[in-house]
Chains A and B, each alone.
Chain A
């Protein structure tokens, strides 16, 4: 019942409308949900990132505005809205204004094909995978537009780095997805999720390698640490958005966060089983949440009572049901977001040549090998095939690591010095 709650609500609401309006209303509801959900997701991703990174650095993170700093994103948004919007002298005004929008709209469009839960994909495109790859790469145009239109050195340098990086990392990313298409024989994201009802693809040899490669290329494509060359703040001030201020700057950030969310969601959909999950009863989760809420120190009593009451009521109403599919989807996606933040908390930025070398000399050959592995998986569905897969994967990994070893110079001996 909770699983299909939103679907049922939607159909009930639509059923109340006259026949003529229904297709239009259905479209509007989807647009409304995505347009409303996306800023909310983005705002709380910033909060999430700041909190997690703070904990990793032994700090508390934002905790001044609201309980646990939960109103911080609202305060930030308000601040951004009130700031002066500066366009540099000599900048291309139209392009400068257009660039953040061009970045934001594809990021929103990515949400169109994501299956958020069982029967909860806004649109089941039969070329869903191709669509996400195509729409996702429009972002690089926006970044270059913004960088170029700013008429400033740092943005241009940041933008050039971005284009080089995105073009490089798109190739391993797309080739990693090919394995999924090979095995499932479909490009529809909904069908791909349904194909994982037995085993999540990440548990197969090709899926494991593919998931890691796809996720890493995704991290690089959305310019996040350790691949954040385009905005390398220690080198390029702010990279492509150096000359942006106020709400336009916020739009850049919104695009970046939505794209990171989309990358995580795509990785989940393609390799981590999407909205599928083990059939754990909902009341188990509710019980865990109730315990956490009861233990929380700074939560006000009213919120505690209301939250616990709602959870208990929900688990009573839906007794015996499994954890809803959309909850699985969001949990997995946010776990991957946590991994992204974890990367940011751990790794220093790569050098440009290391970045390019990683894409072209390590990930690309590995994806090609991975396609072979997936082919063997499909052609030889037996223990021998699996063993062959594992052997090929390990051997190619070792060989690639050896080949990518930086040249170590021989130790120099100074004959005359001794």
Chain B
């Protein structure tokens, strides 16, 4: 009948209104009506909305055990691939210009990301062959300036792999699975190197004469 649509509409708004209160919700349930959507917004600084695991915001650098032991080797692939060109990397070198190594790897002396330019596209993460850079989900990076305040340096960007595992468990598991064989290999290589070094440290009179020809022979045999 004419006019009843108006009343029905008013009923809907009233139901939504009542449903935003605790008592109202209880009352609506009591009389068997739909409870409405309740409050759908959150009082932001006090309450934070839960975001999906894949939510991403600005990259960060991953280290394994200590901040010294970073995965990044300063290969500059991400710097070149970055569409808005917000990454700037300098490799650590000694006076002669040769890269210095720590934990058997080269490492960046300077690694800057200007987060006011970064568009959170994740391309740096995709191109990194060492899984050294990953996407963060910390969105509270506001500051009072857009010069040095927004230019995050290496120490600010470094976060542990543990943290990564906490914010993105699924992706962390994938990365770990990918890194595991490499790590095993590196470990084996390190062990071999250590063994070699240990052997090299042994009395060096007879060893070189014994081993070198046999090694070369076996290599050749494998290749042919």
Tell me the minimal C-beta distance from A232 to chain B in angstroms.
20
What residue in chain A is nearest B11 (Cβ atoms)? A346
Given A59-B40, A59-B41, A60-B43, are A346 and B16 also a contact pair (CB < 8 Å)? no
- Near A by CB (< 8 A), chain B positions 21-53 give 21, 23, 36-41, 43
Interface of A is mostly: helix
Q: What residues of B have a CB within 8 angstroms of the CB of A343 in the complex?
A: 10
Given A342-B14, A347-B9, are A401 and B2 also a contact pair (CB < 8 Å)? yes
Q: What residues of B have a CB within 8 angstroms of the CB of A59 in the complex?
A: 39-41
Given A347-B6, A401-B3, are A58 and B13 also a contact pair (CB < 8 Å)? no
Question: Please, what's the 1-or-0 string for B143-186, where 1 marks a CB less than 8 Å from any CB in chain A?
Answer: 00000000000000000000000000000000000000000000
Q: Which of B3, B9, B39 contacts A60 (CB 8 A)?
A: B39
Question: Please, what's the 1-or-0 string for A309-352, where 1 marks a CB less than 8 Å from any CB in chain B?
Answer: 00000000000000000000000000000000011011100000
Q: What residues of A have a CB within 8 angstroms of the CB of B17 in the complex?
A: 52, 55-56, 342, 345
Q: Is the CB of A58 within 8 A of B10?
A: no
Question: Please, what's the 1-or-0 string for A49-69, where 1 marks a CB less than 8 Å from any CB in chain B?
Answer: 000100111111001000000
Most B CB contacts (10 A, CB to CB) among A52, A342, A346, A401 go to A346
Q: A-B pairs with CB below 8 Å: how many?
A: 42
Q: What residues of B have a CB within 8 angstroms of the CB of A342 in the complex?
A: 10, 13-14, 17
Whether B20 is near chain A, meaning CB under 8 Å from some CB there, is yes
Q: What residues of B have a CB within 8 angstroms of the CB of A58 in the complex?
A: 16, 20, 36-41
Q: What residues of B have a CB within 8 angstroms of the CB of A347 in the complex?
A: 6, 9
What residue in chain A is nearest B9 (Cβ atoms)? A346
Task: Please measure, in the bound complex, the distance between the C-alpha atom of A63 and the C-alpha atom of B46, giving whole angstroms.
Answer: 12
Q: Which of B13, B23, B43 contacts A56 (CB 8 A)?
A: B13
What residue in chain B is nearest A348 (Cβ atoms)? B9
Tell me the minimal C-beta distance from B22 to chain A in angstroms.
8
Task: Please measure, in the bound complex, the distance between the C-alpha atom of A295 and the C-alpha atom of B2, giving whole angstroms.
Answer: 42
What residue in chain B is nearest A402 (Cβ atoms)? B2
Total interface residues on B, CB under 8 Å, equals 20
Q: Is the CB of B41 within 8 A of A60?
A: yes
What residue in chain B is nearest A59 (Cβ atoms)? B41
Task: Please measure, in the bound complex, the distance between the C-alpha atom of A57 and the C-alpha atom of B12, giving whole angstroms.
Answer: 11
Q: What residues of B have a CB within 8 angstroms of the CB of A56 in the complex?
A: 13-14, 16-17
Most A CB contacts (10 A, CB to CB) among B2, B21, B38 go to B2
What residue in chain B is nearest A346 (Cβ atoms)? B13
What residue in chain B is nearest A298 (Cβ atoms)? B43
Q: What residues of B have a CB within 8 angstroms of the CB of A52 in the complex?
A: 17
Q: What residues of A have a CB within 8 angstroms of the CB of B40 in the complex?
A: 58-59
Q: What residues of A have a CB within 8 angstroms of the CB of B21 in the complex?
A: 55
Task: Please measure, in the bound complex, the distance between the C-alpha atom of A56 and the C-alpha atom of B37, giving whole angstroms.
Answer: 10
Q: What residues of A have a CB within 8 angstroms of the CB of B6 in the complex?
A: 347
Tell me the minimal C-beta distance from B9 to chain A in angstroms.
5
Given A58-B20, A58-B37, A401-B3, are A63 and B43 also a contact pair (CB < 8 Å)? yes
Question: Please, what's the 1-or-0 string for A27-67, where 1 marks a CB less than 8 Å from any CB in chain B?
Answer: 00000000000000000000000001001111110010000
Tell me the minimal C-beta distance from A29 to chain B in angstroms.
39
Tell me the minimal C-beta distance from B113 to chain A in angstroms.
33
Tell me the minimal C-beta distance from B12 to chain A in angstroms.
8
Q: What residues of B have a CB within 8 angstroms of the CB of A295 in the complex?
A: 23
Q: What residues of A have a CB within 8 angstroms of the CB of B14 in the complex?
A: 56, 342
What residue in chain A is nearest B42 (Cβ atoms)? A60
Task: Please measure, in the bound complex, the distance between the C-alpha atom of A217 and the C-alpha atom of B174, giving whole angstroms.
Answer: 68
Tell me the minimal C-beta distance from B52 to chain A in angstroms.
21
Q: Is the CB of B3 within 8 A of A345?
A: no
Task: Please measure, in the bound complex, the distance between the C-alpha atom of A401 and the C-alpha atom of B3, giving whole angstroms.
Answer: 9
Tell me the minimal C-beta distance from B6 to chain A in angstroms.
7
Nearest 5 A/B pairs, CB to CB = A346-B13, A58-B40, A55-B20, A56-B17, A56-B13
Seed contacts A52-B17, A60-B43, A347-B9; 20 additional CB < 8 Å A-B pairs: A55-B16, A55-B20, A55-B21, A56-B14, A56-B17, A57-B16, A58-B38, A58-B39, A58-B40, A58-B41, A59-B40, A59-B41, A60-B39, A295-B23, A342-B10, A342-B14, A345-B17, A346-B13, A401-B2, A401-B3
**Interface residue ranges, A against B (CB under 8 Å):** 52, 55-60, 63, 295, 342-343, 345-347, 401, 405
A selection of 24 A-B contacts at a CB cut-off of 8 Å is: A52-B17, A55-B17, A56-B14, A56-B17, A58-B16, A58-B37, A58-B38, A58-B39, A58-B40, A58-B41, A59-B39, A59-B40, A59-B41, A60-B41, A60-B43, A342-B13, A342-B14, A342-B17, A345-B13, A345-B17, A346-B12, A347-B6, A401-B3, A405-B2
